[in-house]
Structure 1
Amino acid sequence: MTTPDLNLLVALAALLEEGSVARAARRLKLSPSAMSRTLARLRQTTGDPLLVRAGRGLVPTPRAVALRERVVRLASDAEAVLSPVRDVDLGNLSRTFTLRTGDGFVENFGPRLIARVGEEAPGVRLRFALKADKDSAPLRQGEVDLDTGVIGVGASPELRVRALFKDRFVAVVREDHPLCEEGMSLEQFVGGRHVLVSRRGLERGPVDEALKALGMTREVVTIVGGFAAALSLARASDLIATVPCRHTFALRAGMRTFALPVRLPEISICMFWHPRFDADPAHRWFRQCVKEVCDNPLAVSEETLV
């Protein structure tokens, strides 16, 4: 069985709509002779003259009249399938986006992101998943639409990345902690008792490496897997928690925040997605929502740091 040339479908639609070889040729940017040859092929393929001479013009045969509406619709559908989608109807969009985030992201940015998405696309639902590791498999497998965090050495090279905001680490204690009156010098920071955040359960972190370079060590009395747990312990004890400032803004409500007395580099919080979603207009809109929500400053200003 011979496979039909589907290019003929577009030519037939133009011929039936224009009723003229010359006008159909101009529409398809072909020469009149090329269009005449295409009409000859159409006649051979369909077994019908399709357009016949009537005076100076052409008129459709009964077969052509019967085919016209169907052919035009098929050609239009084919053109839509093979054309890039540039816009999305947000008002009628029905979709669930899964966003995998680290500790504190939902508390800080979740309410405004939900409000922003709900205002523009009420049929969209957000699913927040806690990021337990840096494994890129959920992104590759389509289980997660968007991931946030710091770029790791194990990140898949094919992932798309866009920066969201810069963050820095700060020291946090409960409101009536003794350090609230004394301030936090390097010596007082080192002399305090600390809670260390390590998702992998490591016993040392960047603060300890910075102190080691100064010939100093701190007392880490407990290790937890997330910022929320660290701040909860610090809120109910004399422990000092070291956490990223913007990422934990909402979690630190009612606590005192100090600038770290050791120098640590800033971190870049980014969002990641798989290339399969790169050109998807709905996903592109969602990425822009996340970016704009995170661009809105939420962290305390430098003047409020003790």
Structure 2
Amino acid sequence: MPEGHSVHRISRQFDRNIVGLAVHASSPQGRFAEGASMIDGRTATQVRAVGKQMFLEFDDDVWLRVHLGMYGAWDFAGEIVVDPTIASANGRMGQTNQRGTAVEGAVMDSAGENSLTSIGAPRRARVRVRMSEQTTGLNDEDLEWPPPVVGQVRLRLLTEITCADLRGPTACELQTPDEVAATIAKLGPDPLVDDIAEGEERFAAVVARKPTPIGQLLMDQSVVSGIGNVYRAEILFRAQQNPHTPGRDVPGEVVRGMWRDWVRLLSVGVETGQMMTMDDLSPDRYRKAMASRDDRHWVYHRAGLPCRVCGTTIVVEEMATRKLYWCPSCQT
């Protein structure tokens, strides 16, 4: 499932490539035909990301709400302007494993996590990448425009030069401003949306009164926004916290430390496009970790392997229908 950093990156791509422009909207799949007809021809006026949800506003207070869920993704094609605020210092511009579109100097992630053309579940797409006014990547003549529809596209948003295809979302609906406000009000604090200090107080107060295991609370979007299975496992390990401890029994300083860690990790994820959760790596190890998620995490997806710290075998179990990875020794 795309986690909070991916949705914020999607929002920034929309802000640079869609907002301010009139769009042609269609639903090739047919499941969002009525909604697409209502926004067809309208101008996108602003975009917001909160946790795992994105809200795109059009003329006359019409809002599109999208929740990617487990399998959803936005596939971008055409001319894409790279957001310099999410281009990392080592030259990675966001492109990964899509054939023919690698940006010079990029670190390649075989899992497609840091994909410019598809944010969410990795897909194949073709794109012209622009940084400022310089175009690089595929030759213009290699691109068919508009690009052919491939697979089950719930919603296509098309400008003169950019195409955004939405596939497999959990939610894709139009909302009024009041409905948007009500949806956001149900969500926990997001470090990139809410005041960080106020968000910490909200998070700490909720956790302090909950008997629910902290491993479940971190995944509860009404408690804190944006954390998914990967960040949950990694934040708990970095805090040396047993995931089964009831929230109200977790020391307050540990709870606050997890919030501050989420603030940092989310910013790193938005900047790099990858869920990097290991610190103080050498340049070679950092580059290796950026290229492979097997070298990027402390415990996630490492069931049966030795803990990187103590050597104890990492275990995996099911918690609230999701896989939980943790070290029974470090996280006592």
Which structure has more relative contact order (CA 8 Å, sep 6+)? It is 1
For normalisation by structure 1, the TM-score amounts to 0.22
Kindly name which structure, 1 or 2, has the bigger radius of gyration based on alpha carbons: 1
**Structure with greater proportional helix content:** 1
Tell me the TM-score normalised to structure 2 length: 0.21
